[in-house]
Amino acid sequence: MAEPTVLIVDDQELIRTGFKLILTARGIAVAGEASDGHEAVDACRRLRPDVVLMDIRMPGMDGLEATRQILARDPQPRVLILTTFDLDKYVYAALAAGASGFLLKDVTADHLAAAVRLVGTGDALLAPSITRRLVERYASGAAEPALHRELGTLTPREREVLTMLGRGLSNTEIAGSFHLSEATVKTHVARIFAKLELRDRAQAVVLAYETGLVTPNRG
């Protein structure tokens, strides 16, 4: 499988340079750089990267709005949020908008490369415990749900699987809980994503909380 191409978006040149050196040294091509959200949207349109490393807090257009605009287009890259805080309402909003995960800026070099490759395959980068705390903190306080989906299209089993996704369980753990094969669980997950128009597990976690399938502090 070919390595993903990456767009690095950060208002600090030193951080962009450091990430570029890390990725290129590991065989991952950096398609370009951007110093704010406006540049990021334009660069995605021109360069069509597979993955966008997106800083949230930037002058002008911030990373959240840039993420929304980028993911509203087709074809869509995968957006990986960069933040100095693991519990940040802007990171939560970015996940709800379709970002595929987030990384702290003090991530190790090997973890950064592994994360880019993971989301480049179409998967989501989720540390379940951190993601749960993030969603629990902000979902219940949202003025209105960031995701509007009709859960009535799901079968009872699919609702159960979505609930488990919201709790951060892997396919293997879900299979064990319901005494199903992993292949069957993968089929359920694929159908859930198709019916609810979800990009990946990150949005599934957000949706499970915002629709009440999973409630804060009770899981």
How distant, in Å, are the alpha carbons of 80, 123, 125 from that of 103? 7, 14, 8
List of domains in the chain? 6-125 (3.40.50.2300), 151-210 (1.10.10.10)
CB 128 within 8 A of CB 122: no
Q: Mind listing the pLDDT tens digit for each residue in 44-66? A: 999 999 999 999 889 889 999 99
CA 177, 178, 184, 187 torsion-angle sign: negative
Q: What is the rounded radius of gyration, in angstroms, for the C-alpha atoms of the chain?
A: 17
Q: Mind listing the pLDDT tens digit for each residue in 68-119? A: 999 988 678 999 988 876 656 777 788 877 888 888 888 889 989 998 998 8
Report pTM.
Answer: 0.74
What is the share, in percent, of the chain residues with pLDDT greater than 70? 84
